[in-house]
Structure 1
Amino acid sequence: MLVWERPEPPERPVPTPLSRERIVRTAIRLADADGLEAVSLRKVAAALDVGPMRLYGYIATKEELLDLMVDAVYAEIRPSGDGWREVLTSVAELTRRAAHRHEWLADLIGGRPQLGPNALARGEAVLAALDGVDLDLVMPVVGAVDAYVIGTVRREIAERRAERASGMDQRQWQAASGPYLVRMFATGRFPALETVIRDAAHLDADETFRIGLGFLLDGIGAGIPS
């Protein structure tokens, strides 16, 4: 039986009451502070001041705990809007914001579909907005938006982690790399790259995300028969 359907142990009088929700909230707090490396059943039990064996009545494995954590974050993603374009825009932006609040989410999404109740509710809202679209096109459309968002947030989170590891923000890193690029461009081997870096507008992450998402949705609109 999957964890979503498995009942919790009955309540009993103990000094530290437990619930699946409390365990998951604690795991998310640890992951938000120190990444997924800070999450294990033993570490969560220590944070709750209980023995690790007590957690096994609620959660059988670390993988179940991670699934529950992801589904708890999906509760923060409630797309809204009129029509498929507004709803897909909403789900893309909300998913990105959730990943920025919970960096570890970028490491856990993108594989097999999430089956928790909050993930299913998110999927239902998105698919309902695509009602009327050719049924064979629905999943490729959703997959394209998910791939764009997941790729973007993983790149953005990787940049954050690089800043922390190196002690340099993006501007400082660019300044440190500048002399090398000047020397490489002076060879004349990279004229297109030089032109873009020298002359193109340098957009921030939010602008880049919105523009790219707009291009994607324009393409989807052109591909959906009216």
Structure 2
Amino acid sequence: MLVWERPEPPDRPVPASLSRERIVRAAIKLADADGLEAVSLRKVAAELDVRPMRLYGYIAGKEELLDLMVDAVHAEIRPVGDGWREVLRSHAEATRHAVQGHEWLADLLGGRPQLGPHALATGESVMAALGGVDVDDVMPVVAAVNAYVIGAVRREIAERRAERATGMDEKHWQATLGPYLQRTLATGRFPALATVVHEATDLDADHTFGIGLDCLLDGIEARISR
């Protein structure tokens, strides 16, 4: 029986009250502070001031805990809007916002099926907005948007982690690698790349994400309209 269907054991207030919700909150606190590497049943138990074996009455192991953590964050992802395009945009932006607040989520999105109640509620909102779309197109459309969002947020988080690891932000990278890139482009071997580097507007992450999402939604709209 999956964790979503399995009842919790009766609460035992002594020595410490416990529930799946408290366990998940403690695990998210650890992950937000120090990443998924900081999440173990032993560390979660220490955070809750209980013995690790007590957790097994509520979860079967770390994999179930990760599923519960992902579903808890899905409570923050509530797509809104009129029509499928607004809802898909809202879903994409809310997912990105959730990852920005919970960096570890980027490592878990797109992995195991997300079947918890909050994830299913999010999916229901998206599917309902696509009610007028051919039923055979619904899942590919949702999958395309999810793939874009997951790829975009993983790149953003990878850049954030690299900056922390090296102590070098974008300006430092540009200062370090800029002279090499300018010398290479000056050879004339990469004219298209040189044009973009020299003439394109330098967009921040928000604008880059929004433009890419618009391109994807434009393509979906063109297909749906046919």
- Please classify the TM superposition score into its range, dividing by the shorter chain length: over 0.9
For 1:212 and 1:177, how far apart are their aligned partners in 2? 26
SS at match of 1:224: helix
Using the alignment, how far apart are the partners of 2:204 and 2:28 within structure 1?
28
- State the Cα distance separating 1:203 from its structure 2 match: 0.5
Give a deviation string over 1:99-156, Cα, whole Å, max 9, x none. Answer: 0000000000112320000000000000000001100000000001001100000000
Partner amino acid for 2:6?
R
In structure 1, the residue matched to 2:113 is 113
Where does the alignment leave 5 or more consecutive residues of structure 2 unmatched?
Answer: none
Partner of 1:70: 70
Write the letter of the residue equivalent to 1:207. H
- Larger deviation: 183-192 or 206-215? 183-192
For 1:157 and 1:7, the matched residues in 2 are separated by 36
Q: CA deviation at 1:175?
A: 1.2
Check the 8 A contact 2:81/2:87 in 1, yes or no. Answer: yes
Alignment correspondent of 1:21? 21
Q: Bigger shift: 105-114 or 161-170? A: 105-114
Query: For residue 129 of structure 2, what is the aligned residue in structure 1?
Result: 129
Q: Tell me which residue corresponds to 1:49.
A: 49
Aligned residues: 226
Conserved 8 A contact 2:77-2:94: yes
- The equivalent residue for 2:93 is 93
1:2, CA displacement in angstroms?
Answer: 0.3
Partner of 1:199: 199
- Aligned-pair CA distance for 1:13: 3.3
Judge which range, 173-182 or 136-145, deviates more: 173-182
1:142 counterpart residue number: 142
Higher mean Cα deviation, 174-183 or 51-60? 174-183
Cα distance in 1 between the residues matched to 2:64 and 2:174: 41
- After TM superposition, where is structure 1 displaced by more than 6 Å over at least 4 residues in a row? none
- What TM-score, normalized by structure 1, do the two folds share? 0.98
Higher mean displacement: 11-20 or 202-211: 11-20
Residue 185 of structure 1: aligned partner: 185
Counterpart amino acid of residue 5 in structure 2: E
Change (3 A) 1:112 1:50: closer
Could you list the runs of 5+ residues in structure 1 that have no partner in the other structure? none
2:218 equivalent in structure 1: 218
